[in-house]
Chains A and B, each alone.
Chain A
Amino acid sequence: MVILKKLGGGGHTEVEVPHHIAVEEILKHLTKGGIAVKENGENIRIEDVRKIEDADKILLVPVIKGG
């Protein structure tokens, strides 16, 4: 199981999901332009999403763009 913590308006949502669901969710988030960061600060790139491990805690950071 992987813990996903999503930053956002209604307080932070933290969900524990099976590995394959986490991979799907992170890929969806990265494709939209967001960032995913592990608890140790390591950035997760699209090509490395499948390498996440069970018990990883991942922060999903919303999209920020230059003005």
Chain B
Amino acid sequence: MTDLDIKCINLQSYPTQEAYICLMQTDGYRRVIPLYRLLSPEKLTKLDILFRECRIKGDEWLSEIDLSEEEILSLYFDSPEGKAETLFIELVNAGLLPKPENGFITLNSDSKTYKIEIETLKLFIDGKESCFQCENELPHFDRLISLCLTILHDPKKLERR
């Protein structure tokens, strides 16, 4: 039995068959593995056909794409997304970032409480949803790390402009 749960999502500018992700429960949050970035389009199209025609059950999809759970994780952690998550885990283990709990990271800085939903990167300041901008397109966990370190070291940057 695999710990990976496969899901098809709608993404702007992606055809349906290319937008499969894997969800995996990990320490305090849910890991989202963008399969559509890791597998060849042929494998994704094959999966899409099998799922649409309900010809696949349980974790049979893994053998259809000829990969094990470990191989998917290895592909993920070699990608920019996975490398960013590895750095995030290192920073949490080093005590520089707080441990995720129930899918959230909570930081206290400048007498305010900042809560970030890890999967969506929604930011709540003292319970109120707020927003932030990044200079360029960053992998998900690079964005999370940057947001956390900005909150800890220069929270004024997050004030509404």
A63 in contact with B135 (CB, 8 Å):
yes
Total count of chain B residues near the partner, CB < 8 A = 32
Min CB–CB distance A60 → chain B (angstroms) = 10
Please report whether the interface of chain A is mostly helix, strand, loop or mixed according to DSSP. Answer: loop
Q: How large is the interface on A (under 10, 10 to 19, 20 to 34, 35 or more residues)?
A: 20 to 34
Using known A-B contacts A9-B80, A9-B137, determine if residue A66 contacts B130 with beta carbons closer than 8 Å: yes
- B121-144 CB contacts (< 8 Å) to partner A: 130-139, 142
B145 touches A10 (CB 8 A): no
- Interface presence of B57 (CB below 8 A): no
B84 within 8 A of A: yes
Could you tell me which residues of chain A, from 1 to 33, have a CB within 8 Å of some CB in chain B?
7-12, 33
- Which residue on chain B has the smallest CB distance to residue A43? B153
What residues of chain A have their CB less than 8 Å away from a CB belonging to chain B? 7-12, 33, 35, 37, 39, 41, 43, 59, 61-67
Q: Which residues of B contact A (CB under 8 A)?
A: 79-80, 83-84, 87, 94-96, 130-139, 142, 145-147, 149-150, 152-154, 157-161
